[in-house]
Amino acid sequence: MSELKDKIMQSIDKNEVKMHSKNFFRLTKALIEIGIVSLVLLVIFLINLSFYLPRKGLGLGLSGNRWNHIFSVIPWWIVILGVAGIGLLIWIIYRYTGAYKRRLAWIIGIVSIAIVIAGFLLSVSSFNETVGKGFGKMNGSGHGNGNGIHRNR
C-alpha cells in the first residue's frame, strides 16, 4: 500500500496531476447531462422520421412488388444516423454516468427499446403534421395568417 501511496505522491509533486475545483466538475456534469438530453431528443426525432416518412410515402393498393417499394421508401440515411446516435448515447451513458456498474447488455437493451418506442409513439401522434403546418406558415405561405418569420402587415 505504501508503494502505491509513494507513486501517487510523486506524480503530485511532479505536477502530473491537475487539480480542479468543484465548480469544474459541476459544469462538466451539467454539460454531459445537457448533451445526453439533446442527443436523446435528436435520436428520438430521427427514429420518428424513419417510422413516419415511409408510412406517409406508402400508398394503398400496392401490387406484388410491395417489399421492394417499402424498402425503397425508407430513408436509410436517417435510420443510420439514428442507430449511430443510439450507439453514441449508450457510450456516453456507460462512460460518464456511473452506468459502468451495470451490465452493458441491459443498458443497450433499455436505451434502444425506450428510444425506438418513443420514436414510434411520436410518429403515430400528430407531431409531424403539426410541425409540417408550422413550417408552412413560417414563410408566409400556407394556410393561416402568416404568424411566422415574415408577417404580412
Most confident among 83-87, 100-104, 105-109, 143-147 (mean pLDDT):
83-87
Of 111, 54, 40, 47, nearest to 78 (Cα)? 47
Rounded to 5°, the CA angle 82-84-88 comes to 115
At residue 123 the predicted structure's pLDDT band, cuts being 50, 70 and 90, is confident
Please report, as a single letter, which amino acid is at residue 46: L
pLDDT score, position 146: 46
Most confident among 1-10, 57-66, 90-99, 131-140 (mean pLDDT):
1-10
Asked if pLDDT for residue 103 goes beyond 90, the answer is no
Average pLDDT over residues 42-57: 82
User: Which is more confidently placed, 135 or 53?
Assistant: 53
Residue spans per domain, the chain: 32-125
Average pLDDT over residues 26-39: 88
Q: What's the CA gap between 44 and 115, in Å, rounded?
A: 6
Contacts for 133 with CB less than 8 Å, ≥ 6 apart: 142, 143, 144
Q: Mean pLDDT over all residues of the chain?
A: 76
Average pLDDT over residues 89-93: 82
Run of H or E residues at 82:
helix 76-96
Contact 12, 37 (CB under 8 A): no
All 3 cell numbers of residue 5? 501511496
Q: What's the CA gap between 94 and 102, in Å, rounded?
A: 9
| The model's pTM | 0.63
